[in-house]
Structure 1
């Protein structure tokens, strides 16, 4: 554990931007009144990957679309300035100045509208860019006609439009607009060749510009695709890192071991749920370790001063389990922050008890197998003696005692073997209303109840539950047997009810209710522990095995005291809808 703590310390550093976790003071608490709320944990799935890429693509499109529209606005401003040049300037020549000015103002107005509508068109970038490129090419062709002297500048600015559009458009559409611009340029050149002074140089220049348009469109398309892929990958990596960080925080928060982060001023910065409970559920404003847990603060001071660790158990607050504290620095030779691990000794004791019980069960099973053969021989011999005609009443009584004790011993062996045997539950959907009536009928046929009363109670509506019928039969048989044996008042017959119903929350429930004296609270707290019994002939394994089989069927067995006298053993089963994908569970039976 110490080595793991050091590894954790080397890979972790305190952060001041962690969101607060639910509860008064949990792992993830930060100082300051303006702490952000807890973020929900995201899990990386194909859907989230697609969403991440879409988000990255939209972010990329937003920047490029803004640039595209602002460049168009600057382009329109250049055309407007050229169209409204002063009268004394002879360049550029404007054959039709009025038409040129109307064209420039119209293009400027269209550019302004597209800039203003940029945020509203982010979800349709291909359509908007296609419309914009169509407008740019048409404006460039008109500029070539109306402002022939600036044809080189117009052709170069159009190259920027084609390249920017290729960053956002699919490859085929990018090539289409490059071809459209090239044809427009060459068409204008051909139109000029029909005039009085044709120029081969102008035709060649427009052809070279067309080649440049195709090259810029191809290169910018590849560049845009790589940018989008890189940003999507970075976005996904960011989501994965955020997921991993929050999963790590969740693991730390849910650890059974308490974890605290304390600074050099003995102030608690962060702690997980286990530490919060082990320290007596302090409020969020209580962060001084010395006032919350003086003994823990004393041990931390002693460890910082001498480097020695006191490994004895201590209780940090009234009513909390004893813990064994351990300390580790976040960085070597740095006492600014210390991680404190609080090991709950009750968990260790419970684990040791489980291991002891498991070992005892295996040992008892091996002994039971060895006892069973001679026990069978004794029982068989006693039965043969009972059939003899030469025995007097005293001998017959002795044989009866032998048979009774052999039966009791065989029952003990069966319980021990069940304790060590593991079977798999085979759950089925049952109608508990019909099941309890069938069980009561079968029990009456196989057992002589005498004056005792056993009856089934169920409503008219079906009570559906999922359980292994064989396991449920064993559990209810054990509970009914105990109710008939112990759930009676002195001198009166036992009155036992087997009830199938729904709880207020809609959970299917089976109850075995008797009208006996009930179970004292001190005894009721221990009745499900193995080998605990108040009867001189009991084994203390019946109720323990019943609870084990109930838990293996995803059910809960509990004792409920009945008002007015009596006992109720309640089994809360699982409804069918909750176990549609449930797998068989190993069970001690």
Structure 2
């Protein structure tokens, strides 16, 4: 506009500038400065650009007011917009500084004109009113600018927090053990988390159309969309993948996008097992009293019979077996209760070879094995471990009983060997080996799961309790298939604290536990 006033067609209708040469230089210089600021100023920070721009405006504007007194009022009014914009964009102290410079420039220019004796139709009231106006507009826009910056900073913080929450939600969804699929209205899979990708396997590899990747799941989704009913029967996605139960829900009300949750049935079964075990723990605590009462009566009756002199030696041996088994049953009840309450084991120094031999003698005395064979082998004469002898006795009872029951060729006697040795890592271990038909891999993977059994008469808790008792004693119980047929249940103990010989009472303890 300054160029238009100085060099435009309206110049003939205006008064002659006070300083024509200065007016031409100012108009040209101002235009050049504006172009340079427009070209290069956008590369810098907005506040820097505003500070430089308003400084140039004030410099050329006040000089233009002096050179063109006829346009001074208009230029002063236009500078009010520049000052207000600078106070809005800059910090408060910079905005007020710009206002003071503008007021000083207006008053200084007016004073210069008066002292120089140059003709001027303006009065002192005009620059004073403009100064007050500059202060008012700068104060107002400065307050607005401060609130705007605070709102901007708050929005940035909220945006960063929201972005962080979105990342956390995405991470949670990706790491969910439940498979999640996002299917649009065209039956295309838009998103799939890690669990869903693992469940889909090859079916989801590069195939985004649900009808092609998983036709049965697509059929169930179409049925749910049509009548709202969902088929909750397990779905086998692939032969080598676990069964899943699909659940459907809309992403948003009225949206055609559907979230598909693929619940792994094995996870659900493990949750049910955990609940069942918790219930079993509470049940065993209430049942212990009922079991111990008849056991106490049996034990008391046996003691009375043993005091009789009319008992034959063979019957007295039977009474001894009853007393031993009653004591052992009471120990089993205590171990189950300790397992349910997660009570720690009470380890002692045990000499494995002697302990195992006494265990076999006690087992054969209380469980006639007829034509079956049960023997002990040892790699060394003495192997010391730190273990709870009562719990070890219970574990060996479970393993030997299972070996005699299942580790045999049909029609042939069982051949069971309990081997005590030290492995290559110098860790003591006990192996219960049989020469039976072996255990298939699909069953071996589930042997130690609670309530898993292949027998119609079993409870599926024996091996589970045995492994838990081993873990309570810092030992590991695993199944190892034998190359020539048969199976091996291996108890691997932690290294003994010191390789001591068995204490004097060890032999007696091994016989009476």
User: What TM-score do the two structures reach when normalised by structure 2?
Assistant: 0.65
Q: Which residue of 2 aligns with 1:184?
A: 105
Does the aligned pair in 2 maintain the 1:483–1:513 contact within 8 Å? no
**5+ long unaligned stretches in structure 2:** 358-379, 401-414, 495-513
Distance 2:390 2:329 in 1: 19
Query: 330, 333, 347: which one pairs with 1:410?
Result: 330
Cα distance change, pair 453–255 in 1 and its aligned pair in 2 (3 A)? same
Deviation at 1:517, TM superposition (A): 4.6
Query: How has the CA–CA distance of structure 1 residues 209 and 496 changed in structure 2, closer, same or farther, with 3 Å as cutoff?
Result: same
**Cross-structure match for 2:450:** 530
Contact 1:495/1:514, CA 8 A, preserved across alignment: yes
1:416-495 equivalences under 5 Å are 416-421=336-341, 442-443=349-350, 453-454=382-383, 494-495=420-421
Q: Secondary structure at the match of 1:282?
A: helix
For each residue in 1:323-368, what CA deviation from the matched residue of structure 2 results, as whole angstroms up to 9, or x when unmatched? 4455667799x89666655554444443333333332332222112
Aligned 1:280-319 pairs, distance under 5 A: 280-299=201-220, 310-319=231-240
Q: Are residues 1:221 and 2:152 paired?
A: no
Of 164, 178, 183, the residue aligned with 1:256 is 178
1:224 CA displacement: 1.9
C-alpha displacement at 1:320, in angstroms?
Answer: 3.4
**SS where residue 540 of structure 1 aligns?**
helix
Give the structure 2 partner of residue 28 of structure 1: none
Equivalent-residue separation in structure 2 for 1:114 and 1:259 (angstroms): 53
Deviation of the 1:378 alpha carbon: 5.2
Residues 55-74 of structure 1 mapped to structure 2, 5 A cutoff: none
Equivalent position of 2:468 in the other structure: 545
Give the whole-Å Cα distance in 1 for the aligned partners of 2:133 and 2:60. 19
State the Cα distance separating 1:211 from its structure 2 match.
Answer: 0.7
Deviation at 1:151, TM superposition (A): 1.9
Residue from 371, 374, 380 that aligns with 2:291? 371
Residue 79 of structure 2 corresponds to 158
Tell me the distance in 2 between the aligned counterparts of 1:476 and 1:130: 86
Is 1:163–1:216's contact at 8 Å kept on the other side of the alignment? yes
Could you tell me whether the CA contact under 8 Å between 2:470 and 2:491 is conserved in 1? Answer: no
Contact 1:364 1:416 in 2 (8 A): yes
2:509 counterpart residue number: none
C-alpha separation in 2, matches of 1:515 and 1:92: 117
Find the partner of 1:361 among 262, 269, 281.
281
Confirm whether residue 170 of structure 1 aligns to residue 96 of structure 2: no
Root-mean-square deviation (CA, aligned residues, Å) is 5.3
Superposed counterparts of 1:205-220, under 5 Å: 205-220=126-141
The separation in 2 between residues aligned to 1:393 and 1:86, in whole angstroms, is 142
1-structure distance, mates of 2:120, 2:423: 111
Distance in 2 of aligned mates of 1:105 and 1:335 = 61
State the TM-score, normalizing by the size of structure 1. Answer: 0.58
| Post-superposition offset of 1:182 | 0.8
Does residue 142 in structure 1 map to residue 63 in structure 2?
Answer: yes
Stretch moving more, 473-482 or 412-421: 473-482
Greater RCO (CA < 8 Å, at least 6 residues apart): 1
Secondary structure at 1:368's aligned position in 2? Answer: helix
1:221 and 1:476 map into 2 onto residues whose CA distance is 84
In structure 1, stretches of 5+ residues that fail to align are 1-77, 426-438, 457-472, 501-510, 573-589
Secondary structure of residue in 1 paired with 2:123: helix
**CA 1:313–1:485 in structure 2 vs 1: closer, same or farther (change >3 Å)?**
closer
Say whether 1:496 aligns with 2:422.
yes
1:267-293 deviation digits (Å, cap 9, x = unpaired)? 555555555555554144434444444
Shift of 1:126: 4.8
- Corresponding residue number in structure 2 for 1:352: 272
- In 1: Cα distance, 2:255 partner to 2:119 partner: 86
Corresponding residue number in structure 2 for 1:70:
none
Which residue matches 1:118? 41
- Between the aligned partners of 1:260 and 1:228, the Cα distance in structure 2 is 39
CA distance in 2 between counterparts of 1:363 and 1:131 reads 83
